[in-house]
Each structure stands twice: as structure tokens, then as C-alpha cells.
Chain A
Amino acid sequence: MDEQEKQQEFQEKIDSGITIEPKDWMPERYRSQLIRMMSQHAHSEVVGMLPEGNWITRAPSLRRKMILLSKVQDEAGHGLYLYSATETLGTTREKVIDDLLEGKAKYSSIFNYPTLTWADVMVIGWLVDGAAIINQTMLARSSYGPYSRAMVRICKEESFHKKQGYEMVATMAQGTPEQQEMVQDAVNRWWWPTMMMFGPHDDDSPNSAELIKWGVKSKTNDELRQSFVDRHVEEAKAVGIEIPDPELEFNEETGHYDFGEIDWDEFWNVVKGNGPMNRERMKAKREAHENGEWVREAAEEYARKQKLSKEKAS
């Protein structure tokens, strides 16, 4: 079979909903795009532990502390599911981690914003995890088997993340005037960065059409963003939170909320590495990697010695 026939057969498999598995033939670009996208996703989970981890020691109660610890541990788990799934495409853990630490790979820009108060932790759960669920529910139907299976696992766990955040937002929105002001302030700061999580408009998103053709994605950035707005505006209303968008209005004709334009200059600026926390996050990751080096080496050496003494004994 020549390349073109293989391509055609591949596309037919995708179109009839057959899952692509690691050892199946796939176009090189399908492979490289997935490695890029999945490792980026894995990095996001892992870097995402930093802004929330920042508040673990200052959680307002033991209950909230246990919940936050558990959530941050889940994010580590999600990163690991995704790194493993990425490795099935023929790359190695060393390579993808290296790409992150050298700044060659990206992660979600949302984590380049600081968590200034406890209310930020609440709002991240509600908005950021809420946005992630919308994206990940779609990816759970992705054409690449290992990616889709990792997503199914992640989606099951992620719903608790959002719920605990929304529960806290609802509680604080009924609190003292200071508490109400605090949660509203956090929403004001996180709303637009969260809207940016879905990426550029469809017209400016060069990868979208291809990823949709290949069944990696089934919805465009703008479609996903619209579902996010429709759902979260209602949730905001229910608890008396104001969405910081003067142009937000329900459109009777479309049945959706119309909303204002994202500040794309800010979006690209943060993507390019100039967000408030880009440097800090990368520094933390590099330090963690370097400081963990002796642990990795010691564990490997221990394993080697154990194996040797076992061999001697037998």
C-alpha cells in the first residue's frame, strides 16, 4: 500500500468512528500533532498544581485543606495519565519533560496568573475546572484510543473539582460584605483568562480544522467557549455573582449568550511568556526537577542493588 492509500484508509477509519491505537499506521503529522497537544495537556495538569498548591498551607479549615490536597494530587495523577498516553506515540518521558523545562513546550496560559487570595482557589475550581471539563468531555471522544481513555478517567475525577469550587463560591457569595467583595474580585480577575483557555477564534486557529478532520477534536474553540459561557453565566446568576462583561446578553434568536471580545493582545502576550507568573512557574518546575534528581538516582541505584543481591542469592 502506498502512502496515499494508507492516508485514505486512515481517514475512513476515523470517519467511521474506529479508534486509532498506538501500533496502528497513522500519518506522521497526526502523530506529531498529538504529541504536541497531549504533552501540552500533561504539562498543564502538572503546572496547574502550582497556583493551587500555593494555598494548601493556608486553607481556611481542615476540611478545605483535605479537599485541596486531594484535588492537587488528582492534577498530578492527570498529568501522569497524559504523559503515559503521550509516550504510546513513540516519544519518551525524558524528552517531553525536557521540552517543558527548556521552554520549547507550552502549557495552558491560565496558570500564568497568580492566586492572590483564597477566593482565587474557589474560582479556579468553578471556572477553570469548569472550562477544562467542557474541553475534556469533548476529548474523551477523541480518535486516539489512549488519549480518549485518559480523558474518560480525568472527566470522572474532574467533576468533583468543579463542584467543590462552585460550592465555595456559593457559600462566600452569601457571606459578609467583605467576603462577597472578595469572591467577586476573584471572578473579575479570572473570568477573562478563563475565556482565553479555549484558544484563538476559529479563524485564527490554524490547527483546528485538521484536528477536527482527524477526529481528535469534535468542536471548535468558539463552540466550546460558547458552551462555557452559557453554562457559567447561569451558575453565576444562581449565586448572585456578576460576570465582568458589560456586553453579556442573552440572545433570544440563537438561544445563547452573546459576549464581549477577549483582549487578544493580552492573550498572545501571556502565550509568548510575558504573563505575570510565566517565569515563576518555569523556575519552580526547573527547581523541582533539579532538586529531585538525587531521588531519582538513588531509587534507581537501590533497585539495581536489590536486583544484584537477589541474583546472588539464587
Chain B
Amino acid sequence: MSNSKESNYDTQWPLWEVFTQPRDGKPHEHAGSLHAPDAEKALENARDVYARRKEAVNIWVVQTEDITASTPEDQGPFFDPANDKPYRYPKFYNPPRAVKKRS
């Protein structure tokens, strides 16, 4: 390329993950990500990118590199402890009928 610069690999700012709360009382949900130089700009950009049509009443932004996630390979072993505990579900129990029907 005949650019004066060696390449266009200049900054596109750090990556942030955006979580939006669609309505009061609802949990925040991952909406997508965006680039921004700082948290304040990230919030503004999140509003312009992910809430142009009132999709959110509240927004969280967090820098992508600050998120720790479990991996797909973990899926088996990591969540294993929940596998053999059927007594954590109401279905496990067999109370007398009358009690069960109580509303």
C-alpha cells in the first residue's frame, strides 16, 4: 500500500462487553461488544449501538479482558458436582398426597 504509514494497524481502542437490562425487574443480558477508550465512552457507545430503540433501561459495560469464563471443555467435569444430587429437586420427594396438593 502506498500509504505514508507502514500500515493501518492503529488503535481501535480496547474491547468491552455490553449487558443490557430490557425492563425494570429483568436481569441484564449480554447484548454484544464494542470498542471504546474508557468506561464512560463505552457506556455512551453502548447506548448508541445497542439501545437505539429503547432496548434497555440500564447498561453495564465491562472490559472483555476482565471476564473469566469457563471453557467448553470444562462442560463435563466442571459442572459434574450437580450431576448426582437429585435430592436438590422437589421431584425427588414423595410426600403424602394431601400435603402435596396444598396450594
Contacts and interface: CB of A to CB of B under 8 A. Distances in A.
Contact of A94 (B8, B34, B37): B8
A84 B12 contact: no
Contacts of A80: 34, 49
A81 B35 CA distance: 11
Nearest to A96: B12
Nearest to B33: A84
Contact of B9 (A98, A153, A297): A98
Contacts, number: 69
A303 interface: yes
Interface string B64-83: 00000101100000000000
Contact of A92 (B1, B12, B33): B12
B13 interface: yes
Interface string A195-213: 0000000000000000000
B88 interface: no
Contacts of B12: 92-94, 97, 296
Interface in B1-60: 1, 7-13, 15, 32-35, 37-38, 41, 48-49, 52-53
Interface of B: 1, 7-13, 15, 32-35, 37-38, 41, 48-49, 52-53, 69, 71-72
B9 A93 contact: no
Contacts of B41: 299, 303
Contacts of A73: 52
B38 A307 contact: yes
Contacts of B7: 98
B77 to A, nearest CB: 15
Interface string A296-308: 1101101100110
Contacts of A97: 8, 12
Interface string A258-293: 000000000000000000000000000000010001
Contacts of A299: 13, 37-38, 41
Contacts of A21: 72
Interface in A38-60: none
A300 to B, nearest CB: 5
A24 interface: yes
Contacts of A157: 52-53
B37 to A, nearest CB: 4
A29 interface: no
A74 B52 CA distance: 8
Contact of A77 (B10, B48, B69, B72): B48
Interface in A72-93: 73-74, 77, 80-81, 84-85, 87-88, 92-93
Given A25-B72, A84-B33, A93-B35, A297 B11 contact: yes
A23 interface: yes
Contact of A85 (B11, B32, B71): B32
Contacts of A241: none
